[in-house]
Amino acid sequence: MARALESPPASLPAPAERAEPAAREDRLARILAPIVIAILVVGGWEAIVRVHEIPHYILPGPSLIARELVESWPVLWPSLLITVKIAALALAAAIVGGVGLALLCSLSRWIEIALFPYAVVLQVTPVVSIAPLILIYVDHTLTAVVLCAWIVAFFPILSNTMLGLASADHNLRDLFELYGASRWQQLRLLRLPTALPYFLGGLRIAGGLSLIGAVVAEYVAGTAGTGTGLAFRVLEAQYRLNIPRMFAGLLLLALTGVAIYLLFGALSHLLLHRWHESAVRRER
Amino acid sequence: MRPAEPAPAVRVEVERLALEGRTLMEGLVLDLPAGRTTCLLGPSGVGKSTLLRLTAGLLPGAVRSASDGLPLDGRIAWMAQSDLLLPWLTVEDNLLLGFRLRGARGGEFARARERAGELLARVGLAERAHALPHQLSGGMRQRAALARTLVEDRPIVLMDEPFSALDAITRHRLQDLAAELLGGRTVLLVTHSPLEALRLGHEVRVLDGAPARLGPPLRPPGSPPRTADPALLALEARLLEELAGAPRPTLEAAA
């Protein structure tokens, strides 16, 4: 019996050979499982709508939404570009503002003490309630909308970058000091690379939030502005009881959010996969 | 690998050092003999690392002087418990970090690179010069850190429990390697392992009490790296007893 335990049966492949197909199965499952869920949900939805003959102005079926998406593409696509432009401008401003302020805070504790509470206030005040004020006081609608989206996207970048800049190992700081590194060198060669993974984490959150911020701002701006973003199209469709178009607009927004998330995920992987714990594949 | 310039003796004097209202050290004088390795033992939290940081000039509160009368700044190399390799740089670039920080160029940089290559060969990492730290084992990383400490060719080397995170066998090998490569430098090595102190130190000092006091130097027979023979192990046992709270005279009798 003891002998039988020592040598595995010949039919069992070596662990390394078994691991390969297992990894492939895992990857396949990651792609297939969500697709299966999507087919079930969309199929079930279509079936319920057809069986119960639900009118399209109450709940349109997926096929009708798909047709609407194709038919109103000439209206929806330019609107999507506007919303994406707002989100992108807001995110760019959030990166500049967030990283800039984080750097200032890391250079001087006084700046941090003086300014950080206001960053928190900005973060915790619901943007829906600030947006009408901003729209009143800022003449240029695009600027106002971008400002609203910026408020939402700014904080994750600021707080993550601050955390990252403060995370450099104190022994490494000692080492840099013994090597006679200047403050600027310490920032460039030690603190900024240390902060990069944290910043990228913040960017992934802020990317999605900038889109949400843009949509909220467009909703609040509504017909008051020049409003032709995708959120405005959804609102407009609602007023006209064009429910399929509402769904089409929402679908497009959701897909855009996913695309932004994937984009920053890929960027993060690209920048970190060589060295950072989160992205490095362990050698066993 | 003897240092390019002769290593001076170093004296560190702490008149009084208090942290958070607690007197950590008072009237303490640490002498590091020139070109010798001094090992500093003591219970956790007694201030060994603080004394090391004071010696390095990373903490204010100590008067430091070298026997040649020259300032200590720029003549000290540092090695810590963690390897302190920057994860985004290759092993070679990590070794050359100090030269990059000082803006070394052309011939100077080429020479540094050559020296880095030699040292990597000495610590058995010649093949891994272009690997990133995460691709190396813990022992390899610490060998790279040792090479980085030496590439600067500074006469004074401070080490803070450099081998404590390693397994016993790797630690033993690295101690031998360190003793060989550090020859001729003035070294202060902080450790919590009496055996490590006895194997590597020309002198072993015990830091103990509150405020912390330095025991008299213990000079084990022979020169480092000593083999862990029964005599050394017996000495280790006595040191351990003393550190654990036994009376001091036994140690002086042994020395």
Angle at A173 between CA A168 and CA A174, to 5 degrees: 145
Domain CATH code at residue B3: 3.40.50.300
How many domains does one find in chain B? Answer: 1
* Within-domain flag for B29: yes
Distance CA(B40)–CA(B215), nearest Å, equals: 10
Which residue range(s) make up the domain with B34?
1-70+185-255
* Partner-chain contact A174 B58, CB within 8 Å: yes
* Within-domain flag for B144: no
Distance CA(B181)–CA(B3), nearest Å, equals: 10
Per-residue confidence (pLDDT) for residue B1, from 0 to 100: 67
* Within-domain flag for B171: no
* Within-domain flag for B227: yes
Average pLDDT value over all residues in chain A: 87
List the strands of the sheet with B76-79, edge to edge.
B76-79, B156-160, B186-190, B37-41, B203-208, B213-214
Q: List the single residue in A172, A185, A283 with the smallest CB-CB distance to B84.
A: A172
Instruction: Give the gap in angstroms from C-alpha B95 to the nearest C-alpha of chain A.
Output: 12
ipTM passes above 0.85: no
C-alpha separations of A82 from A32, A140, A215, A253, B29 in Å: 33, 15, 11, 12, 72
Per-residue confidence (pLDDT) for residue A13, from 0 to 100: 47
B86 contacts in chain A (CB < 8 Å): 172, 189-190, 193
Assigned token pair, A154: 């700014």
Per-residue confidence (pLDDT) for residue B173, from 0 to 100: 85
Assigned token pair, B55: 């010696």
Lowest mean pLDDT across A31-45, A137-151, B237-251: B237-251
Task: Tell me the per-residue pLDDT of B160-195, one tens digit each, with 9 for 90 and over.
Answer: 998 888 888 888 888 998 898 898 999 999 998 999
* Within-domain flag for B56: yes
How many CB pairs (< 8 A) connect A and B? 52
Helix (H, G, I), strand (E, B) or coil at B157: strand
* Within-domain flag for B142: no
